[in-house]
Amino acid sequence: MSANIIDGKAIAKDIHTEVRAEAEQFEKDNGYKPGLATVLVGEDPASQSYVKAKVKACEEDGLMGIKHVLPESASQEEVMALVTSLAEDPSIHGILVKLPLPGHIDEKTVLDAVPLSKDVDGFHPANLGRIGIKGEEADFVACTPAGVIELLKRSDVQIEGANAVVIGRSKIVGLPVALLLLNENATVTICHSRTKDLGAVTREADILVPAIGKANLVTEDMVKEGAVIIDVGVNRVDDATRKRGYRLAGDCDFEGVSKRARAITPVPGGVGPMTIAMLMKNTLRAAKRQLEG
């Protein structure tokens, strides 16, 4: 078997098109655009391009994206003053604080200053907790986990009743993905670095979601014939043939697992584009909810 490719770029493009149509209507109705503020502390080039990509997506989707950059040396008070002013600014509907913050900044205090109504990243403990409680609705679901579910749904993958295995239990990916899959009525197992026989668990997975950060950790022998794999991992692998000296790869040995899987997301071009698309969706949702009061 050679796996079908789940094209995250194409699916994300569809979502951007939907967001753009809704954002244009929103602006027509209300006279302003949904606004996203990004906060970056420091000049790390990777973080700069991360933030730049989000602001560019805002422009393309008819949202207002505003970039705030503070120097690496900014004090806790300075960061808090910025986040608090954005929290109070009615033209800003979503706030994205680029993590990690420099070591001298208390991350939790800063994130707590982002009001729930503007938590478009979905990292607030209340939003995470609500995903896990039946009958509750999170204001915002974290973008990457939401993107994983959207990829499955838009690829017509049956989630209900499936054995889903998530590798990784971080609060930004693994845990929320597992909770969302549970909400969709999958039978969910979470694996992590202390899992004893990872392959024995993953071989039972109809849906496998590696979110680890280790290239080639998931090999062909760990995958059930016909499984669907959503590879969240993003890893740099040395590659002398590339100008920059490396290429990006997921957590799976892509070629190997593709022989057994029914469908798989590539890296890059799988989950990554979905994260930005879901952030645009969350920002639009934030603007609409704030309008409703």
Question: What are the residues binding ligand NAD (CB under 6 A)?
Answer: 144, 167-170, 172-174, 191-193, 195, 198, 211-214, 217, 232-235, 271-272, 275
- Token pair for residue 10? 């194409």
Nearest to 119 by CA among 85, 145, 74, 87: 87
- Token pair for residue 178? 């597992």
Nearest to 70 by CA among 98, 103, 114, 39: 39
Q: How far is the CB of 48 from ligand NAD (least distance, A)?
A: 17
- Nearer residue to ligand NAD within complex by CB, 53 or 69: 53
The Cα 206–Cα 183 span in angstroms is 16
- Nearer residue to ligand NAD within complex by CB, 35 or 233: 233
Q: How far is the CB of 273 from ligand NAD (least distance, A)?
A: 8
Q: How far is the CB of 283 from ligand NAD (least distance, A)?
A: 16
- Token pair for residue 227? 């499984």
The Cα 59–Cα 15 span in angstroms is 15
Residues in contact with 39: Cβ distance below 8 Å, sequence separation at least 6, in sequence order? 68, 70, 79, 82, 83, 86, 95, 96, 97, 98
- Nearer residue to ligand NAD within complex by CB, 115 or 213: 213
Q: How far is the CB of 98 from ligand NAD (least distance, A)?
A: 12
- Nearer residue to ligand NAD within complex by CB, 115 or 268: 268
Q: How far is the CB of 164 from ligand NAD (least distance, A)?
A: 15
Q: Token match 């022998």: residue? A: 221
The Cα 149–Cα 46 span in angstroms is 26
Judge whether 250 and 267 are in contact, CB under 8 Å. Answer: yes
Cβ neighbourhood burial of 49 (10 Å; 0-12, 13-18, 19+): exposed
- Token pair for residue 153? 């749904």
Q: How far is the CB of 28 from ligand NAD (least distance, A)?
A: 31
Judge whether 123 and 130 are in contact, CB under 8 Å. Answer: no
- Partners of residue 67 on adjacent β-strands: 38
- Nearer residue to ligand NAD within complex by CB, 198 or 252: 198
Cβ neighbourhood burial of 89 (10 Å; 0-12, 13-18, 19+): middle
Q: How far is the CB of 155 from ligand NAD (least distance, A)?
A: 16
- Nearer residue to ligand NAD within complex by CB, 189 or 195: 195
Nearest to 206 by CA among 263, 256, 269: 263
- Nearer residue to ligand NAD within complex by CB, 138 or 148: 148
- Nearer residue to ligand NAD within complex by CB, 131 or 212: 212
Q: How far is the CB of 12 from ligand NAD (least distance, A)?
A: 11
